[in-house]
Structures are given as structure tokens and as C-alpha cells.
Amino acid sequence: MSDTTFEKLRAQFPDAVLDVSEFRGDTTATITRETFLDVARFLRDEPDLQYDLLVDLTSIDRRDLGIEPRFVTVYELYSIPKNHSARLKVPLPWDNSTEMPQCPSVAAIWPTGNWHEREVYDLMGIGFTGHPWLHRILMPENWVGHPLRKDYPLGGEPVYFSSDRDNPRFAHLGKPIMEGPSYPSKLPDDVDSETHLVINVGPQHPATHGVLRLAVELDGERIVSVNPDIGYLHSGFEKTGENKRYEKFIPYTDRMDYLAAMNNNLAYVLTVEKLLEVEIPPRAQYIRVILAELQRIASHLFWIATHAHDVSGTIHSLLMYALRERERILDIFEMFCGARLTTSGMSVGGLRQDIPGAFPDAVRSFVSEFWKRLQDYEAMLTRNPIWLSRLKGVGILRAEDAVALGVTGPMLRAGGVPFDLRKAQPYSSYDHFDFDIPTATEADSYARYQVRMREMEQSLRIVEQAVNRLPEGPFCTDDRKVAPPPRSEIDLSMESLIHHFKLYTEGYKPPVGEVYGMAENPKGILGFFLVSDGTAIPYRLHVRGPSFVNLQATDLMARGHLLSDLITIIGTIDVVLGDVDR
């Protein structure tokens, strides 16, 4: 499918394509910087290609690979109508005379590029010509350097505390001894704080679901603009990943979208497995599906709990009801892997261990009970006039805007686009199960509410089928280069012992190459971009957090609404800040 893309591209722009390569089914074309914008526009508009979704935009610093030019930007494209994907790479020649290499901005072609480019600018130090407002996005405004560059030193920086209670010199509690440097992020130039009320919603606010700051410009109670300020929770997962072995990054994925750890695990291990090209036994695939779908239900339950809470006030009962059910899912996770929230439940090559004997029954009893619970929730909300009046017509995000902004998951499907990776590009044997993709057409908050409620039902169907048809067999691959041998074998076989030793001291070494892996998370597409230089440590690891991309739509959705609606809108985006800031 991608072959035709690049044939067409070559025919249209004979000089633009420097190179086309294929690795693990991913086709990558290298495009010259000068022709890049034309190529991008062509790929988006050509009727046979229709790359309407810019899934991801990232960059690689190839200093340690010894390739010139040093910096390259990477664009992962996907076409929803045609269901094919392609990757573009744009090398950026840089002669050190300018402060940083420059790349043309795609924000006018795919508006989702706006934040992605800010992220690349912030972390990698690549300028984008023609970008509407190029400022740091994750790091503070006063940060020195660009952390993802390979010459950026590893190590700590001073952490400022406002009081030091252990120090006898400052025994008076709460007396500030050292003011943490405060550099409030800049607001866009068109924000008018003279005649309008500019109010901060967050970072310390009950309704922002974490440390998210929205500088809201208000005219009366009507929203003029919303300016999200993120990065409070940024912990440099990408840099960490580039200094750890592949397997060791799994616990970090738990902490990205911490409400959907299993889904994160799944997306990551699928990407590494794609790089390694290992076969996963069907039993492991089914169990992964069960875990991922239970996690999807848990994530949606947390969403409905907090959303109802936001719209209603602290005392609304649905919060506790939904969390009670989520607790049962966490019990099932605990039964499987001992952990509840940060599960690290999957490992490259399959699972860490097989499910315990009581697991299928626990899942079955949960499923049968949850069908009834779901109806209770619907009885509380679906036709409640106040609920309807708060959600209907609020925060409309039309399908074309959603695609342009890269918004995926339930938010996109609520606009009527039946795009779900589980159907479009089935992974982990999702094609074995019978389920539907719920969509709606109104594209408002109520449509998103309904889509998520229906999605829980579909997840239940998948779990039901998977647990009833669970195949027998091994729970992880027998490729000893990837997965450790069972404990009993180590006592008997010298070879197993060596495998075990090698795996835990050196890890596995994937071939040189780069892959992009995606999976449908509860919040949208979670993507991992891995570049292997042949060692056991990824050379480049990039994460596309669905919440990060979806959050970009806040401004568009909230303009012209009332302040109360902003709370509804944040709720329906279902944002998790661990996923936004990474």
C-alpha cells in the first residue's frame, strides 16, 4: 500500500525523494527540506492517498550514529479513509551558523503539528519556520539547552523547596528560606488581560484532573480563549528510555497514562516485538486482550466518575459507584500480577506469568455483574434533564476539525468517524472477536459520553468472548533470546541458564532499524517510535500520548462557551496529565 504512495510521490516530485526504505513493514521516504511542504500538501490532498491524520511528529539527533546531517524530523502519517500509513523523514542541514537547524512548519497543513513542533523545538532544539507561536511547551521558559539532544548531559539539577524543615537554622515551620524561581509561562500575544478577566484554572484546581493550567480569557462568563499550559508533570520519559534497555522501559509506560497502564504496556511491547519480529502465542494474545479491555473499562469508569463529579459537585454519588466497579477490575489485575495501578503486566515476548486458575471465573463474574451496573449509571445520567442540558451542544468538535487536530479515540468517534485501530489494523488477535465501533454524529460532549458508555459494553463483549475461548498453550514466546526460560528449565539445562544469564545481564539486541507502533488506548492512539542502533538500548524512543494531542483541541471546543462548560469540556477530553507531559 505504501509502495504506491511513494511511486506516486516519485512521479510527482522526481527530485524530492532522496531515498525510500522498508523495515518491518514500515515504509520510510526521505524528503528534501525544500520540497517538503509541497510533498506534505500533496500527500494530504491527493485523492488516492488522503493522508489526513498526522499521527506523530518527532525528530532524531543522529550525532552518535555518525550520519550527516545530524538532525532529522520524522512524520508518521496515516490515512483514515484508505487505512494506510507512511513515514517521512526530512534531514535538516545545519552549518552551526544559526542557533538551531530550521524545518518548515506543517501546522498550516495538519494543525496538530502545532504542539508537536513546539515539543520538538523544546526538547530537541529544532526551529520551525512559519510556526504560529513557537515557544517551549514542556520545559520551563527559562530552561537552558534541549534535553533530547545527545550531547545534553545526564544528571540532576537543583530542586528548590520553599522551606527546609530539617535545618535547625530555619526551625520556624513554613518560613521560606529559598524562593523557588518562578517563571510563569508566557501567554499568546492576542490575550487581552486589560479589558478581559484572565483567570487561571489550574494547576491547583479541583477540576483539571492533575497539574494542568488553563489560562482562560473571559468576557463576563463567556470564554474568549483557552490557553493550556502543560509540562508540570514532565519527567523526561523519552530521555530515560534512551538510557535503559528495552525491557526496562515497561514500568515507565505504566506511569504515562496511569489510568490505562495495561494498554500502555501493550502498545509498548507490541512496538518492541515489531522491532524484534517475535511471534506471540495465542494464549498470551488473548490474555493481553482481556487485560487491555478490562483496563479500558477501568479507564472509562474513572472518566465517568470524575466527569460526573465535575459536572455535579463533590457529593455526586456516581463517583463512588464507578470507582467501586473499577476497584473490582483492579482486584483482577492484582490477582494476575500483584499490582493494581502501575501493573507492568506484560512483557516483551508475551506475559510475565500465566494467569492464576481463578482468573477466568473472576473475570466472568465481573462481566455478568457489570452489565447490570452499567444500566444503573445510565439510569442516573442518560436521560437526566440537567445532565442533558449540561452536555448537549457543549464543546462541539466536528470530525474534520478532530482529524486535522490529530484527535483520536472516543473524541473522534463521537464526531462520526468509525476509526478504531482495533478494527482498522487489528493487533494482538483483535480480529478474532466480534465487536462494534460505537459512533455518534453530534460531536458534542453528550455524544462523547454516549460513545464511551457504548464502548464499555463492547469491551465487555470482547472480554466475554476472549475469556470463554481462551486457548491453551504457553504464555510467552519460546524464543529464548527474548523471553527468559521457565525456572524449572534452568535447573536442568545449561543452555537455559546461559540464556537466562545473557538476557538479564545484556538484554536482547534488536537489528538496526526504526519502527512505529500504535495501539488504540482508551483515550486515543498511543504511539511509540523506536530507533535501534543494534545495541540493547534504544537509540531514540518517542512517545505519542493521546491526551497530549487531544488536549490541543480544548481552545477550539471551548471558545464562546461559558466557564461552566469549560469544566464539562475538560471532562470529556478525558485528559490524564501523566500522558500529556510524560
Partner 1 sequence: MDWISLLLVPAIKSLVVVVALLTGFAYLSYVERKLVARFQVRYGPNRAGPFGILQPISDALKMVFKEEIVPLNVDHVVYLLSPALTVMPALVIWAVIPVSGASFTLFGQTITPYVSDVNVGLLYILAIASLATYGIVLAGWSSNNKYSLLGALRTSSQMLSYELPMGITLVSVLLIAGSLSLVDIVQAQRGVWFALLQPIGFIIYFICGLAEAGRSPFDLPETENELVSGFATEYGGIKFALFFMGEYIHMITISALATTFFLGGWYGPFVNQIPVLGLVYFLIKVAFMIFLIVWIRASLPRIRYDKLMHFCWKFLLPLSLLNLVVTAVVLVLVG
Partner 2 sequence: MLSDFTFVGILVLIAVLLPVVGLGLSWLIRPKKPNPVKQSTYECGIETIGDTWVQFRAQYYIYALVFVVFDIEAVFLLPWAVAYDQLPLYALTEAVIFVLILALALVYAWRKGALRWS
Q: How far is the CB of 308 from partner 1 (least distance, A)?
A: 7
189 binds partner 2 (CB under 8 A): no
Q: Residue 350 and residue 477: Cα distance in Å, rounded? A: 6
CB of 315 to partner 1, least distance (A): 5
Residue number with CB closer to partner 2 (20 or 207): 207
Listed in sequence order, the DSSP H helices in 14-154 are: 36-45, 113-124
Question: 456-494 burial string, b = 16+ CB within 10 Å, else e?
Answer: bebbbbbbbbbbeebeeebbbbebbebbbbeeeebeeee
**Partner whose footprint covers residue 356, from partner 1, partner 2, none (CB < 5 to 8 Å by kind):** none
Asked if residues 322 and 289 have their Cβ atoms less than 8 Å apart, the reply is no
State residue 58 phi and psi, 5-degree precision.
-145, -165
Q: Which does 398 bind (CB under 5 to 8 A by kind): partner 1, partner 2, none?
A: none
Exactly one of 25, 93, 220, 418 binds partner 2 (CB under 8 A); that residue is 220
Q: Which is nearer to partner 1, 211 or 567 (CB)?
A: 567
Closest distance of CB 571 from partner 1, Å: 9
Least separation in angstroms between residue 558's CB and partner 1 is 13
> Which positions ≥6 away from 578 have C-beta within 8 Å?
210, 233, 255, 256, 257, 258
Query: Which listed option, partner 1, partner 2, none, makes contact with residue 182 (CB within 5 to 8 Å by class)?
Result: partner 2
Q: Which residues pair with 60 in a beta bridge?
A: 72
Burial string for 167-177 (b: 16+ CB within 10 Å, else e) reads: eeeeeeeeeee
Span of 59-67, 190-198, 330-338, 414-422 interacting with partner 2 by CB under 8 A = 190-198
213 lies in the binding site for partner 2 (CB under 8 A): yes
Q: Which is nearer to partner 2, 288 or 561 (CB)?
A: 561
**Cα separation, 341 vs 343, whole angstroms:** 6
Distance spanning both ends of the chain, measured CA to CA: 33
Binding mask 285-324 for partner 2 (x = CB under 8 A): ----------------------------------------
Q: Which is nearer to partner 1, 70 or 390 (CB)?
A: 390
Contacts of 76 (CB under 8 A, 6+ apart): 54, 55, 56, 57, 58, 85, 87, 516, 527, 529, 544
Identity of the residue, 191 or 339, whose beta carbon is nearer to partner 2 in the bound complex = 191
96 binds partner 2 (CB under 8 A): no
**Which parts of this chain interact with partner 1 (CB under 8 A)?**
197, 199, 201, 205-207, 221, 308-317, 319-321, 324, 380-381, 384, 386-387, 389-390, 562-567
Burial of 314 (0-12, 13-18, 19+ CB in 10 A): exposed
Number of residues that bind partner 2 (CB under 8 A): 28
Q: How far apart are CA 171 and CA 165, in angstroms?
A: 6
Residue 542: C-alpha distances to residues 22, 114, 116, 239, 498 (Å): 20, 17, 12, 9, 32
Binding residue for partner 2 (CB under 8 A) from 97, 98, 182, 488?
182
Q: Which does 203 bind (CB under 5 to 8 A by kind): partner 1, partner 2, none?
A: partner 2
Query: Is residue 124 a contact partner of residue 59, using CB atoms and an 8 Å limit?
Result: yes
Among 27, 200, 382, 425, binds partner 2 (CB under 8 A): 200
Among 48, 99, 157, 194, binds partner 2 (CB under 8 A): 194
164 makes contact with partner 2 (CB under 8 A): no
Q: Using CB under 8 A, which residues numbered 523 to 582 contact partner 2?
A: 562
Cβ distance 74 to 87 under 8 Å? yes
Query: Residue 441 — left, alpha, or beta (φ > 0 → left; ψ -120 to 50 → alpha)?
Result: alpha
The interface partner of residue 582, options being partner 2, partner 1, none and the CB cut-off 5 to 8 Å by kind, is none
Task: Work out whether 221 is an interface residue with partner 2 (CB under 8 A).
Answer: yes
Residues that bind partner 2 (CB under 8 A): 162, 172, 174-176, 182, 184, 187, 193-205, 213, 215, 219-222, 562
